[in-house]
Amino acid sequence: MTPHWWARYWQAVVASVRRHPWAYAGTGGAVAAVAGVTAIVLMMTSAPAPARPGSPATTPAAATGPLTSPFTGEPVTSRGPVLALKIDNIVRARPQTGLKAADIVYVLPVEGGLSRFLAVYSSQLPPVIGPVRSAREDDLEVLRQFGTPAFAYSGATPHLLPFVHRARIVDLYAGLPKSAGAYFRDNSRAAPYNFYARPAQLVAGAAGASTARDIGFRFGPAPASALGKTAASFAAGYSAAAFTFTWSAAQKRWLVAMDANPASDTSGGQLGAPTIVIQYTTVRTSRFLEYGAPPPYAQSVGHGTAVVLRDGKAYTVTWSRPNGNVGTTYTTATGERMTFAKGQVWVLLTAPPR
């Protein structure tokens, strides 16, 4: 029964009172009945319609204060469309271009114990991003929380590609005529590690892409109940891809090293972020073959433990993502939401340590 239904009902009651005032004499008189019921009608017909889920009226940042990014917690002039790109991370693909400008950098396992990045942009777009590589099955599960994000990738194994095309994304596959012009080869590098994208052109062809929305991140001072342990560095990764995150008090962020070497961006400086999430999860095998064998599939739906690195401390928390259409919540042992430091966030999905 919607407010409009009730309004029609009470309007009928008002009309009845006016036509048959004697019927209401025993309850305080016709005049009082008409006045009271009329007030109810006015209140219900003048009340604004409830906001739809996800509209600005229901998002905390839009309610009061300056508009902020739900991905970084930092002020933004507007919430732009979500653009995600699959970026290579093999040694010959380093240093990458445009990673420093990402709002979120997801680290995911691929075949051979290696890793690739799924970089998410909304607050800002660098001129060039890359090297762009092919999609994997677990990318699609990560992407669903963003609504209908634009997804740029160089390709996929033939059996997986139809599933990517049918996913809830704005498809920016390099093989599609509409997006082919946004990609180019850098002849100073060897193929296939020389394939790059111009994100402004990708976004221009991504009509219908969702704008940034709440995916579960919360920003602010660490909860008082959270018992963080001082940590100078933290190591994680996969069998053939080692990551070390080292706290820099001077830069107020965790500097990233990959395979014992500082990770850099072609724009200069070492990669790093104020918040790093090491999310322990089930890593099974994909349904689709890569180079003749199924690659790993890191589950981003489910629940488990995680370590949140911020402000030079490591916080052990739990994570939960009930289904692919919602984001992930991170919770302390006392049930409070774990908060992140403002700025870029890295999320590394890996199996729990043995």
For residues 299 and 138, give the distance between their C-alpha atoms in angstroms, rounded to a whole number. Answer: 7
pLDDT, mean over the chain:
86
Name the amino acid, one letter, at 231. Answer: A
Q: Which residues contact 1 (CB under 8 A, 6 or more apart)?
A: none
For the chain, the first-to-last Cα distance in angstroms comes to: 54
Chain segment 307-319, per-residue pLDDT in tens: 999 999 999 999 9
- Total domain count for the chain? 2
Helices (H), 20-160: 30-46, 60-63, 137-143
Domain that holds residue 41: 3-46
Cα Rg of the chain (Å, integer): 26
- Tell me what pLDDT residue 291 has: 87
For residues 305 and 313, give the distance between their C-alpha atoms in angstroms, rounded to a whole number. Answer: 16
CB 108 within 8 A of CB 136: yes
Q: Which CATH number goes with the domain that contains 162?
A: 3.50.90.10
Phi, then psi, of 53 in degrees rounded to 5:
-55, 135
Whether 123 is covered by a domain: the verdict is yes
Whether 189 is covered by a domain: the verdict is yes
Decide: residue 3, CB within 10 A, 0-12 exposed, 13-18 middle, 19+ buried.
middle
- Tell me what pLDDT residue 65 has: 80
CB 83 within 8 A of CB 209: yes
Chain segment 22-36, per-residue pLDDT in tens: 333 333 333 333 333
Whether 334 is covered by a domain: the verdict is no
CA 299 to chain centre: 15
Tokens of 124: 């800002």
pTM listed for this prediction = 0.82
Residue 174 pLDDT > 50: yes
- Tell me what pLDDT residue 35 has: 37
Please say which residue of 204, 234, 259 terminates a domain: 204
- Tell me what pLDDT residue 19 has: 41
Nearest to 135 by CA among 155, 112, 106: 155
Confidence band, pLDDT 50/70/90 cuts, at residue 216: very high
- Tell me what pLDDT residue 249 has: 98
Q: Please calculate the CA angle 148-152-158 and round it to the nearest 5 degrees.
A: 100
Residues 93 and 16 in one domain: no
Phi, then psi, of 108 in degrees rounded to 5:
-130, 145
Residue 110 pLDDT > 80: yes
Residues 130 and 180 in one domain: yes
Whether 331 is covered by a domain: the verdict is no
Whether 11 is covered by a domain: the verdict is yes
User: What's the average model confidence in pLDDT over 321-326?
Assistant: 98
Nearest to 257 by CA among 280, 232, 279, 235: 235
Residues 189 and 120 in one domain: yes
Residue 138 pLDDT > 90: yes
- Tell me what pLDDT residue 64 has: 66
Residues 195 and 92 in one domain: yes
Residues 100 and 179 in one domain: yes
Whether 186 is covered by a domain: the verdict is yes
User: What's the average model confidence in pLDDT over 308-337?
Assistant: 97
Q: Which residues contact 233 (CB under 8 A, 6 or more apart)?
A: 244, 245, 246, 247
Minimum mean pLDDT range among 1-15, 98-112, 279-293: 1-15
Return the percentage of the chain with pLDDT > 70, whole number.
Answer: 82
For residues 172 and 160, give the distance between their C-alpha atoms in angstroms, rounded to a whole number. Answer: 15
Nearest to 109 by CA among 261, 277, 286: 286
User: What's the average model confidence in pLDDT over 126-141?
Assistant: 98
Decide: residue 186, CB within 10 A, 0-12 exposed, 13-18 middle, 19+ buried.
middle
Residue 204 pLDDT > 50: yes
Decide: residue 288, CB within 10 A, 0-12 exposed, 13-18 middle, 19+ buried.
middle
Residues 99 and 32 in one domain: no
Please say which residue of 188, 204, 220 terminates a domain: 204
